[in-house]
Structure 1
Amino acid sequence: MHFATPSAHDLQAMTDATTAPALRTLPSVMIPGLACSPRLFAPQLSTLWQFGPVTIANTLQHNRIADMAKAILDQAPAQFVLLGLSMGGYIALEIMRQAPERVIGLCIMNSSARADTAESQKNRQRLMALAVEGRLQLATEMNFPRSVHPAHRHDKDLLATVLAMAKETGVASYIQQQEAILHRIDSLPWLAAITCPTLIMVGDQDQLTPLPLAQELSQGIAGSKLRILANCGHLSTLEQAEQVNRALQQWLSKLQTA
């Protein structure tokens, strides 16, 4: 029986394969926004899963951002990649205050470092009043046009997903989350302390947290990358899932080999 003798090229390839550094596992913790369930991140799960275990944080139990952050940290891996959208971004910034050493990389989507404005507070209180009256669906429908790109305002499937998430999270949690957002602190003074690799994403027509707020985040966090998503409003993970997934794939691939 004849056995082929490996060539020098084959031997070198085998040596390279055995000596190449192993890619590190990147567990992810994803924090959804106001009245959002795990459905918010459903299009991203297959992308993130390639890099490590994925956890979608529970934000239904508390009415303060700091308490939400602590509860998430209590359940999170020792080290992890942190991703938050909208309210999830506010919580992510609080986690960076409480335990920055545990965060391998930070991704903030459609969010802001600022405290709530007086105008936003009035709007939240109006929506909370509707929810208290048992009209959470109406509150959600009223807020929907401002939450998406103008081209998506008549997207029945997208609206159905948003309404389903609101129903899943429920009235009590909606009110608690709105209270947490109302009372959030100004995180701008803390941005300079963030040193982990950071990706900021924003829709080009996000009306709730527009581009200047994303630019402010990016400018405040040294070395961060800003990705502007085309034809996108506030719900980027659902509106432009492919763009979000490409950005995450590229960012996590670099992070994995860093």
Structure 2
Amino acid sequence: MTAPLPQLILLPGLLNDAELWRDQISGLADVARCWVPDLTPYATLHEMAQSVLAQAEPTFAVAGFSMGGYVAQEIARIAPERIERLALLDTSIRVDTPERAAQRKALNKAAAKGGTFLGIGQAIMKSYVDASRLDDADLTGRIVDMTQRLGREVFLRQNSLEREDGEAALKALRVPLVIICGENDQITPAPGHREMAWAIGCSHLVVIPNAGHMTPMEAPGPVNGALRHWLQRPAGQR
């Protein structure tokens, strides 16, 4: 009798939903049963993590992108025994710098004023995707549509999230780990991922050339390849 495929929880980032993971859901269907939780109703990372844990199977693999990486770290704090594997994509284990916290507050103030909510619109797209993809109308259109669909209230809620340093919780895990990022990620730059890998003892770091922050959408082939390899590594080995 064939063993059931593992549950793979795919945690989206700020103003992201299942569209972020579209290519992973289809591309990994033969090795995992993918589930993308809805994180939009919640105002804290703890609430998000508790919601995921309440709906998840007893044990699972989890991949967190950007904000979803912060949720994955919160899950590791609350219920490390339930995590079979952990992947972190284009994220950080550190708290915001004072400068970054000030930027977030300024963005929230501007977004709260009203008017048309643009989401991740073309004006700031260069911060999210590699320069070589700015003229890719399909890619940028998907990002704009997704972020506008989720809207202002979700943005204000998610952009106000506070987080803890994740190093201790992640170092304590004894499961297969992988860290993935775009070489040209401007939101969570590649050097931070190298520091993350060193800090938590992760020997599997994948830096994807010619990709920015939105690697699951920009570079589905390399992302799927890295996740497939991670899913097939022996359990219990970091």
Fold shared by both chains (TM-score > 0.5): yes
Q: 1:174 aligns with which of 135, 155, 160?
A: 155
| Residue aligned with 1:179, SS | coil
Alignment of 1:151 with 2:136, yes or no, is no
**Whole-Å separation in 2 of the counterparts to 1:200 and 1:139:** 24
Count of residue pairs brought into register by the alignment: 236
| Residue aligned with 1:107, SS | strand
Contact 2:76 2:170 in 1 (8 A): no
Contact 1:105 1:198 in 2 (8 A): yes
Task: Measure how far apart 1:66 and its partner are.
Answer: 1.3
Contact 1:131 1:139 in 2 (8 A): no
Partner of 1:235: 214
Q: Residue type matched to 2:169 in 1?
A: W
Task: Measure how far apart 1:96 and its partner are.
Answer: 0.6
Task: Measure how far apart 1:255 and its partner are.
Answer: 4.4
Partner of 1:226: 205
Partner of 2:97: 117
| Residue aligned with 1:49, SS | coil
Contact 2:120 2:144 in 1 (8 A): no
Task: Measure how far apart 1:32 and its partner are.
Answer: 0.4
| Residue aligned with 1:134, SS | coil
Q: Show structure 2 runs of 5+ residues with no match.
A: none
Task: Measure how far apart 1:222 and its partner are.
Answer: 2.8
Q: Residue type matched to 2:20 in 1?
A: L
Q: 1:98 aligns with which of 75, 78, 89?
A: 78
Task: Measure how far apart 1:158 and its partner are.
Answer: 1.8
Q: Residue type matched to 1:157 in 2?
A: D
Contact 1:128 1:178 in 2 (8 A): yes
| Residue aligned with 1:60, SS | coil
Q: Residue type matched to 1:243 in 2?
A: P
Decide which structure has greater helix share: 1
**Whole-Å separation in 2 of the counterparts to 1:142 and 1:136:** 12
Q: What TM-score do the two structures reach when normalised by structure 2?
A: 0.91
**Whole-Å separation in 1 of the counterparts to 2:30 and 2:235:** 11
CA deviations 1:221-250 (Å, max 9, x no partner) are 234410111111000011111111111122
Aligned Cα RMSD in Å?
2.1
**Whole-Å separation in 1 of the counterparts to 2:236 and 2:82:** 18
Task: Measure how far apart 1:93 and its partner are.
Answer: 0.7
Change (3 A) 1:256 1:103: same
Identity %: 30
Alignment of 1:70 with 2:70, yes or no, is no
Contact 1:26 1:52 in 2 (8 A): yes
Contact 2:182 2:190 in 1 (8 A): yes
**Whole-Å separation in 1 of the counterparts to 2:62 and 2:133:** 28
Partner of 2:115: 134
Change (3 A) 1:242 1:177: same
**Whole-Å separation in 1 of the counterparts to 2:7 and 2:203:** 20
Contact 2:179 2:202 in 1 (8 A): no
| Residue aligned with 2:132, SS | helix
**Whole-Å separation in 2 of the counterparts to 1:91 and 1:257:** 22
Contact 1:37 1:168 in 2 (8 A): no
**Whole-Å separation in 1 of the counterparts to 2:122 and 2:108:** 13
Alignment of 1:160 with 2:160, yes or no, is no
Task: Measure how far apart 1:71 and its partner are.
Answer: 1.0
Larger Rg: 1
| Residue aligned with 2:28, SS | helix
Contact 1:79 1:103 in 2 (8 A): yes
Task: Measure how far apart 1:206 and its partner are.
Answer: 0.7
Q: 1:205 aligns with which of 164, 179, 184?
A: 184
**Whole-Å separation in 2 of the counterparts to 1:145 and 1:231:** 13
| Residue aligned with 1:82, SS | strand
| Residue aligned with 2:159, SS | helix
| Residue aligned with 2:180, SS | strand
Q: Residue type matched to 2:30 in 1?
A: Q
Task: Measure how far apart 1:110 and its partner are.
Answer: 0.4
